[in-house]
Amino acid sequence: MMSYKIGWFSTGRDKAARELLRVVSDSIKEDRLPNLQIGFVFSNRTKGEARESDLFFKLVEKLGIDLVSFSSRNFRPEMRRKALVQEKRGKPKLISHWRSLYDEEVIKRIDKFEIDLIVLAGYMLIVGEKLCRKYPMINLHPAAPGGPRGTWQEVIWKLIEKNERQTGAMMHLVTPELDAGPPLTYCTFPIKGGKFDSLWEKLEEKLKRKPLETIKNEEGENEPLFKEIRKEGVRRELPLIVHTLKALSDKTIELRGQKLMRKGRVVEGYCLNEEINCETDMH
């Protein structure tokens, strides 16, 4: 079977970004992803912009993968600043134009690699239409299909706010609209029952004294229920990426345009609960 070549997009802004890349790279080396090859890693930061992304670049170097870095912050900064101000006022035209110009520059830098797929893993920039049309792209999102949109922090607070019973993680196709592409693969897990019940109860006690917004501001990511939901999500995100790439590279599932095919039929998302629960139960 021919090798399946991917491009890896990450801002490299935290430890989780390094962990995701390391896990996939290790899985290739250990022959758990025998048909997969990482053609390059792209970051929208350059060396010296931030400590975390510098650590990420060191890892890429250590793994022997080609690094392509191109700063979004330093690309037409005046236009970007003005565009972000306008976007906040509900005028997205200029930011769309800026994204389009930035994406053109990205395409120039990565086109030579001839990849089958781009994986967004901790890429903190909204991808413009040009890039979406040019390459099939998938993104890791820390919620189940139909769940909240936004960053993992926003997702968890929304789950808590809505008193949800379960959540999950998914890889979805990238479209110009944020987190709105159709699901490719996913897994789910409960956030009620077992160890979660006492954490919900403790939060209920706190909510009698102060609103959720205050708890958010005071405790942030250290709030115990928030922390536990995040921990369980991260435990599944890593195997989800690996199993998704395995299913794609060995043709268990195939992407045809915006459609996901399995055994010659169009499917709406491929559930990986069995594989992932089996793996997380072992650790």
pTM of the complete model: 0.86
**pLDDT bucket at 233, cuts 50 / 70 / 90:** very high
Q: How many CA atoms lie within 13 A of 221 on its CB side?
A: 7
* 83, 99 Cβ separation under 8 angstroms: no
**pLDDT of 1 above 60:** no
- Residue 25: CB atoms within 10 A of its CB come to 21
pLDDT of residue 240: 94
Residue 259 bridge partners (DSSP)? 256
- Residue 82: CB atoms within 10 A of its CB come to 14
Please report the beta strands in the chain, taking only residues with DSSP state E, as ranges in sequence order. 4-9, 36-43, 67-69, 117-120, 137-141, 166-173, 183-190, 254-256, 259-262, 265-267, 270-271
**pLDDT of 246 above 60:** yes
**pLDDT bucket at 253, cuts 50 / 70 / 90:** very high
In the chain, pLDDT over 90 holds for what percent of residues? 73
**pLDDT of 180 above 70:** no
Going from N- to C-terminal start, the domains of the chain cover 1-135, 145-169+181-283
Q: What does the pLDDT average to over 109-130?
A: 91
pLDDT of residue 117: 94
Q: What does the pLDDT average to over 165-180?
A: 84
pLDDT of residue 281: 63
**pLDDT of 3 above 90:** no
**pLDDT of 191 above 70:** yes
Q: What is the mean pLDDT of the chain?
A: 91
Q: What's the fold here for domain 1-135?
A: Rossmann fold (3.40.50)
Which tens digits make up the pLDDT trace of 64-116? 999 999 999 999 999 999 999 999 999 999 999 999 999 999 999 999 999 99
Please report the beta strands in 174-236, taking only residues with DSSP state E, as ranges in sequence order. 183-190
**pLDDT bucket at 257, cuts 50 / 70 / 90:** confident
Taking alpha carbons only, the member of 136, 108, 109 closest to residue 120 is: 136
* 36, 6 Cβ separation under 8 angstroms: yes
